[in-house]
Chains A and B, each alone.
Chain A
Amino acid sequence: MPDIDVLVVGAGPAGSVAAWQARQAAPELDVVLLERDRAVGAPVRCAEGVGDAGLREFASPEGTDWAARKITRVIFLAPDGTEVKVAERNVGWVLDRTRFDAHLAAEARAAGAEVLVATEATGMSRNGDGRWHVRVKSGGIEETWRARVVIGADGVETMVGRWAGLDTRVPSRDMESCAQYVLQGIACDPDAIYLQFGDAIAPGGYAWIFPKGIGVANVGLGLVALKTNGRNARQYLDDWIDRRYPGAARTGYTVGGVIVHTTIKQTFTDGVLIAGDAAHMINPLSGGGIVNAMKAGRLAGCVAASAIREGDTGARRLSAYHHSWMDLLGDDHLKYYKIKQALEDLDDSFFNGLARTVNKIPEGKRSLGRIFTHALIKHPQLIPIAAKFFV
């Protein structure tokens, strides 16, 4: 029976960074990173936008093949079509997630972790020896591996958390159903991301255009199903694209769920840490989760490494991970979640009014900072709308 120190389940940003950082913190450890799919980074279930500062904590985007576009503008579209342009020098990037995720997995490998694709964890149990016994399936063969610490970075479905007895369920109102096409041959500013709000377009969420090149963009939306009349995310998206880009070629399609909740109450137990989407570490206002996942992965990898070195991987020792995460971002998410709930009561006319208010600021002076100040005076509830992408 293979016997390893750290088993990371899921080679997305959380898992790859966890494996990378665990090995970097303690090079003597056996660290294995499992990816269920046949390729790290595919299929892409993501709009691929990421803030500049957060990304740079882990990788420099200049000159790489995994950074598709540098973004220097955000264009907010109110329900009535009013555009609010905000220019900032370093807003962020639209990534090529297939390549970016592979890059992070390669960092884990370079640090000495083993990376296994097409290899799936299918269950695990605690057998009294202080280890998790994890069933690992690859090529139709299932074996049992022993691990001191299992890091669950297995995304929205979060099976590791479930197996470990942690409550990872999500209320329906906090699940955004998302659909996205890659559109080719469309007219849009290749240096800007567009965020379109409106109850008729994306009830409870927003629609987006994230450029990946000239005339090519991820065009998608997320909505809260409780607010729709039985139509699904794909139907809403088809309607919007038919109106906005009737001549576009749809060259890619993906769907997925974004958990717009707060961090699960407990992200750890004996020998287990949960990181990224699996632990609901998405910003509940923006739905952004890539940088959060990497930050959580870094914490999880470092805590796992030091706990193993100290010979104590019990829940109490691993709770340091949870506290560090809550201090870093988790507590902020509790506040954002309350703001999200307040915004749910506002209707389209309110957002239209905000857009017109903000447009009175001259475009050259329309920095996010000034918008915050202005919005704070005029509509204090709405500041976070503009902050959505960045926080």
Chain B
Amino acid sequence: MRRVTPDTIAVVDLAVCDRCGLCLPLCPPEAIHLESNVLTVDREQCTGCEKCVGPCPVGALAMVAHA
């Protein structure tokens, strides 16, 4: 199956992120990771579904064009 590259992917603003972990179980492909107190979104795994963006209680996640 061909992997479809999404038009946009999620990115985290670490200056805003509170490391609460809420977004991790919301991510269908499990592309969000939290290790050593740093949240990362794996840009190869992210499908651009946006499910993590709205629920972030501090608005730290946003969609950007997939470069």
Q: Is the CB of A184 closer than 8 A to any CB of chain B?
A: no
- Overall SS of chain A's interface: mixed
Residues in chain B near residue A259, CB distance under 8 A = 25
In the complex, how many angstroms separate the beta carbon of A158 from the nearest chain B beta carbon? 6
Q: How far is the CA of A170 from the CA of B25 in the complex (A)?
A: 5
Residues in chain B near residue A254, CB distance under 8 A = 18
Q: Is the CB of A30 closer than 8 A to any CB of chain B?
A: no
Q: Is A225 a contact partner of B54 (Cβ separation < 8 A)?
A: yes
Q: How far is the CA of A169 from the CA of B30 in the complex (A)?
A: 8
Q: Is A158 a contact partner of B24 (Cβ separation < 8 A)?
A: yes
Question: How many A-B residue pairs lie within 8 Å, measured between CB atoms?
Answer: 76
Residues in chain A near residue B51, CB distance under 8 A = 172
Q: Is B58 a contact partner of A172 (Cβ separation < 8 A)?
A: no
Q: How far is the CA of A384 from the CA of B57 in the complex (A)?
A: 26
Q: Is the CB of A90 closer than 8 A to any CB of chain B?
A: no
Q: How far is the CA of A304 from the CA of B27 in the complex (A)?
A: 30
Residues from 37 to 55 in B contacting A, C-beta threshold 8 Å: 51, 54-55
Q: Is B57 a contact partner of A256 (Cβ separation < 8 A)?
A: yes
Q: Is A177 a contact partner of B22 (Cβ separation < 8 A)?
A: yes
CB-defined A-B contacts under 8 Å, sample of 25: A120-B35, A120-B36, A156-B21, A156-B25, A157-B24, A157-B25, A162-B30, A168-B25, A169-B26, A169-B28, A169-B30, A170-B25, A170-B26, A177-B55, A177-B57, A179-B58, A225-B54, A232-B54, A234-B58, A234-B59, A255-B18, A256-B20, A257-B21, A257-B22, A259-B25
Q: Given contacts A122-B35, A177-B22, A179-B57, could you give 9 more A-B pairs where the C-beta distance is less than 8 Å?
A: A120-B35, A155-B21, A156-B24, A157-B34, A159-B34, A169-B25, A172-B54, A178-B57, A257-B21
**A-B interface, 3 closest residue pairs, ranked by CB to CB distance from nearest:** A257-B22, A157-B21, A225-B54
